[in-house]
Amino acid sequence: MRTDLITELQDLRYLSWSLTRHSSGTAGSFLKAYEETPEGKVYYKMSCFYSNEGVIGHECVNELIVDRLLTLLGIDHLHYRLIHALIQVEGREYETWVCASDDYKRKGDTKLSLEMFYQIEKRAGESVLDFCIRKGWKKQIYQMIVTDYLILNRDRHGANIEILRNHQRNTVRMATLFDHGLSLLFSCHTVEEIERADGLRDLPVQSFVGGRSVLKNLSLIPKEELPKLNALTEADREYILEGLEDILPEGLLMKLWEMIRQRYQYYETLCN
């Protein structure tokens, strides 16, 4: 039985949601919450929220899809659970889907964005990529660049990469990959938009390591150092999409799988 998908409605109305503004005006917001449990903090987030329409979009579902994909490919990442939930925002109740993740920090860890850490410790003229390689994070950075190409991640800004410092252990390390909601076909909401979407398209993205093209960012990795991934086959479609048929339209699910396969096959060709 899958433990990453909770379809039975959960009462999460006790959570207090804070707004992370997506853009100005009426474009909507991404809401986040957390709770303390005996096992540690649990973090929640939902898809784009509009005060006059409720939750619109499927960014939370993307988190689970990408989680499953990276598990198959053998890339270290933060795990998510997709939860059918009853929530309350600004005094109104909504039935929606939220995703949850556990705290990846160890005891004694403090976190800092890569952007801030880079500004503090970079050498004169040193690029972000060279800085990360000097710090010993080449494997993680290369895997991140490949991941962002495979899922067309539009939101890998400097705060979406975290550095964890532990003074007790005298360690500094890069946090596992997280936050993949603004990826794949998150901006497609109508049948026409889904059908028109090109799985191999390259859109402008936020990328703190590299430029604004996830395709061009692949060229930052020397060919002989392109990460070797586990094979992705047609049989993996069932694993990645299992249980999502009652959450997203069938046409969108098939388009998502087609996009993932096309981009993986392109990367496989690049490696060979």
Is residue 165 within 8 Å of residue 135, measured between CB atoms?
no
Counting every residue, how long is the chain?
A: 272
Predicted pLDDT at 23 = 39
Across the range 85-108, mean pLDDT stands at 95
Q: What is the pLDDT of residue 24?
A: 34
Average pLDDT over residues 109-136: 98
Confidence of residue 29 (pLDDT cuts 50, 70, 90): confident
Distance, in Å, from the CA atom of 104 to the CA atom of 57, rounded to the nearest integer, reads 26
User: Residue 237: which H helix or E strand, with range?
Assistant: helix 236-241
Percent of the chain whose pLDDT exceeds 70: 96
- pLDDT given at position 71: 98
Q: Would you say residue 19 has pLDDT above 70?
A: no
pLDDT at position 208: 97
Secondary structure of 38-100 as H, E, C letters: CCEEEEEEECCEECCCEECCCHHHHHHHHHHHHHHHCCCECCCEEEEEEEEECCEEEEEEEEE
The answer to whether residues 32 and 44 touch, using CB atoms and an 8 Å cutoff, is: yes
Helix (H, G, I), strand (E, B) or coil at 156: strand
Q: What is the mean pLDDT of residues 155-176?
A: 95
Q: Which pLDDT belongs to residue 53?
A: 84
pLDDT value of residue 28: 66
- Whether the per-residue pLDDT at 190 is higher than 70: the answer is yes
Q: Can you give the residue ranges of every domain in the chain?
A: 5-102, 109-271
Confidence at 52, pLDDT banded by 50, 70, 90:
confident
Residue 206 φ then ψ, to 5° = -90, 120
Q: Which two tokens stand for residue 160?
A: 């979406």
| Predicted local confidence at residue 51, as pLDDT | 83
Contact indicator for 184, 58 with CB cutoff of 8 Å: no
CATH of 109-271 given 1.20.1250.20, 3.40.50.2300, 1.10.1070.20, 3.40.50.300? 1.10.1070.20
Mean per-residue pLDDT over the chain, rounded: 94
Residue 60 DSSP SS3: helix
| Side chain identity at residue 167, one-letter code | H
